[in-house]
Structure 1
Amino acid sequence: MKSFIAVALFAGIIAMASAENYACHTNVTVGCTNNVQTPVICHARFGGIDNVESGIQSYINLNLHKSYQYLLMSAFYNSYQKNRPGFNKLYKSMSDRSFDDAIELIKHVTRRGGQVDFRAISQHPNSIAQSKLKLEEDELHSLGIALDIEKTLTADATHVHYQSTHGRPHDPHTAHFVEEKYLGRQADSVRQLSGYVNDLSKIMNQRDPSLGVYLFDQYLEKQ
């Protein structure tokens, strides 16, 4: 009796396995016959990656562009004429961060089976090639530019998160990735820069702000 039950159970399992739709297995098997009409379905794409891929592409481009802007600002304040090591350090760290963020986004897209179109990056209106950054002599206005940049990066990260949570189908993996890596840190960056802008604006309103600006730069260098 026990042997009969075991045989029946084994046969049921085999029947269930046969009923499964092993799409990738079938595709690979057919692919060995060099049938070019067979659709490629054995890939790493799943969930709502199709809904968010273009948004991530745009965010990659934006990070590369802003990294370039911050790098120019850093070099500007590192010259012997300006000699602001604190501002140089601040903008260099922000340039490195934006570049690293672009690399992480590229890894995320390729891990999910997507591709990054670098031609689109060079042709985008916010690309490095199209950049026309006006370098400000005034340290206060440079902080204003940095605050605008951070708000733009935050808005783009929020847009990607919205696409991944409201698209059909959803892409919870991308939503979690953006929320954990970008949104909280961007909020902190906006808060920090807005504080710098308000502090330095009070210094600049003095009759002779030169000493105050120097001390503020020293403060930035120690951060």
Structure 2
Amino acid sequence: MKIFVALALFACLGSLAQAVDNEYCQNTVITACSSSAFSALTGFFTGKSNSICNARFAGIDHIEPEIQSYINANLAKSYDYLLLATHFNSYQKNRPGFQKLYQGLSDRSFEDSIALIKQVTRRGGIVDFNTRHESSGSVSTKRGTLEVDELHSLALALDTEKQLATGATHVHSRATHATDAERDPELAHYFEENFLGKQAESVRKLSGYANDLAKLMKVPDPSLSVYLFDEYLQKQ
């Protein structure tokens, strides 16, 4: 009877050890190299198996859809800013200062998208543009008309920057205040370092522009005020 109990206990311990071993890449490698099944070995090295030997850790599985949604939003906003820049660069509008402002915002949003794609792949993910990723903190990509006057374009840009700032805050909060299994301090730090401060500064700058131009236009003929404000934007 004692022998039977000892054997049962040994079997339980062996099963537990095997379950723990499956959590580590080293044990996966040992299993793959000692396996006689060539297909399993091939799957391991080609990345087509569910191997633990990857770059994923912490809460990336839970936060990755939120980041991909934010990538989509940045790409959409980059396109919108590019349309605004083109609108003010036409011979009819001829506002090189506004064109410079919106071209810069378009380039920044596109560069942010590239940086986020690199961050996702660095953490073992794949950005899938064939699938639309939505989350509770998704940034709205609904477009209205972009052929607007100077003051309304600043209001539109300010709203856009606030949406992007809110999206970055949502991802940061998701990575910081989730449960232990879903928390990801590295991603929270990345967004804090690269997005939160920058978005806050952008919101502050555009809100100042909008309020300054609104005050300058409180004259019977605001054309000179708009021209001088455009000259000011060229120097920024």
Worse-superposed segment, 171-180 or 38-47: 38-47
After TM superposition, where is structure 1 displaced by more than 6 Å over at least 4 residues in a row? 122-127
Higher relative contact order (CA 8 A, sep 6+): 1
Which residue does 1:188 correspond to in 2? 201
Distance 1:97 1:179 in 2: 17
Q: Does the 8 A contact of 2:66 with 2:134 survive in 1?
A: no
C-alpha distance 123-39 of structure 1, shift in aligned 2 (>3 A) = closer
Distance 1:58 1:123 in 2: 6
Shift of 1:158: 0.3
1:212 matches 2:213: no
Shift of 1:136: 3.4
C-alpha distance 147-159 of structure 1, shift in aligned 2 (>3 A) = same
Q: Does the 8 A contact of 2:165 with 2:199 survive in 1?
A: yes
Aligned partner of 1:177 among 176, 182, 190: 190
- Give the aligned residue type for 2:27: T
Q: Does the 8 A contact of 2:64 with 2:125 survive in 1?
A: yes
Which residue does 2:214 correspond to in 1? 201
Q: Does the 8 A contact of 2:87 with 2:147 survive in 1?
A: no
1:141 matches 2:152: yes
Shift of 1:51: 1.9
Which residue does 2:12 correspond to in 1? none
Shift of 1:189: 0.5
Q: Does the 8 A contact of 1:154 with 1:183 survive in 2?
A: yes
SS at match of 2:76: helix
Shift of 1:121: 4.8
- Deviation track 1:14-36 (CA, whole Å, cap 9, x = no partner) reads xxxxxx94821221233343336
Distance 1:45 1:134 in 2: 41
1:30 matches 2:35: no
Q: Does the 8 A contact of 1:51 with 1:167 survive in 2?
A: no
Shift of 1:72: 0.3
Q: Does the 8 A contact of 2:75 with 2:110 survive in 1?
A: yes
Distance 1:121 1:92 in 2: 26
Distance 1:143 1:39 in 2: 49
- Deviation track 1:45-103 (CA, whole Å, cap 9, x = no partner) reads 00111121011000000000000000000000000000000000000000000000000
Q: Does the 8 A contact of 1:65 with 1:126 survive in 2?
A: no
Aligned residues: 202
Distance 1:146 1:63 in 2: 13
SS at match of 1:120: coil
Worse-superposed segment, 131-140 or 87-96: 131-140
C-alpha distance 184-123 of structure 1, shift in aligned 2 (>3 A) = closer
Distance 1:171 1:159 in 2: 13
Worse-superposed segment, 200-209 or 140-149: 200-209
